[in-house]
Amino acid sequence: MNSAALTTGPGPASLLNSETAWLNLSAEYDTAATELSELLAEVQAGTWQGPTAEKFVAAHVPYLAWLLQNSANATAAALEHDTVIAAYNAAVAAMPTLAEIAANKALNASLIATNFLGVNTIPIAQNEFEYLQMWLRAATAMAMYEAVSQTAMTWVPPTGQIS
């Protein structure tokens, strides 16, 4: 059940798209911050003079800090998505495949069907033990994926107000 739930869903595609969007947003904030930094450096170098230039700088320094903070937040959000994608891929790799489970179930049915006078009792027990091991692998993989996902995706970066 765990294998099917994990491997037949949408997979990490939406997380990859979201990660890309966060990285693009971070780049946009960073570009705006770079341009504003250059402009503020020009103004402070004396290209503009007087009280208006000082007010311009004073008004835009908090905006620059806001841009830089939001760029960092967007990058952090992208990294959180990347963490969840890695956890998903690790869970898929650790999970028993649907083919393994189907083969185990088919063998179990065959052993039960041919278990005359208990001749297959030990092979049935071995088969059921193998299934239990697969179930434990799947449960462990899902628990790890869930733990990483819940921890990583609880933080959504605020854009906040410009102070």
Domains of the chain and CATH, by start: 2-152 (1.20.1260.20)
Helix, strand, coil percentages for the chain (3-state, nearest 5): 80, 0, 20
Identify the H or E element spanning 12.
none
Identify the H or E element spanning 161.
none
In Å, what is the CA distance from 124 to each residue of 10, 112, 116, 129? 35, 7, 12, 8
C-alpha angle 67/74/82, rounded to 5°? 160
In Å, what is the CA distance from 156 to each residue of 58, 75, 85? 29, 11, 16
Residues 127, 111 contacting (CB under 8 angstroms)? yes
pLDDT at 9: 79
Residue given tokens 């107000």 in the structure block:
161
pLDDT at 46: 84
Long-range contacts of 109-117 (CB under 8 A, 24+ apart): none
**Tens digit of each residue's pLDDT (9 = 90 or more) over 116-143:** 999 999 999 999 999 999 999 999 999 9
pLDDT at 4: 78
pLDDT at 163: 67
Residues of the chain with confidence (pLDDT) below 70: 1, 156-158, 163
Q: Is the whole-model pTM more than 0.75? A: yes
Residue given tokens 């990859």 in the structure block:
16
pLDDT at 8: 80
pLDDT at 36: 97
Distance of alpha carbon 156 from alpha carbon 71, whole angstroms: 13
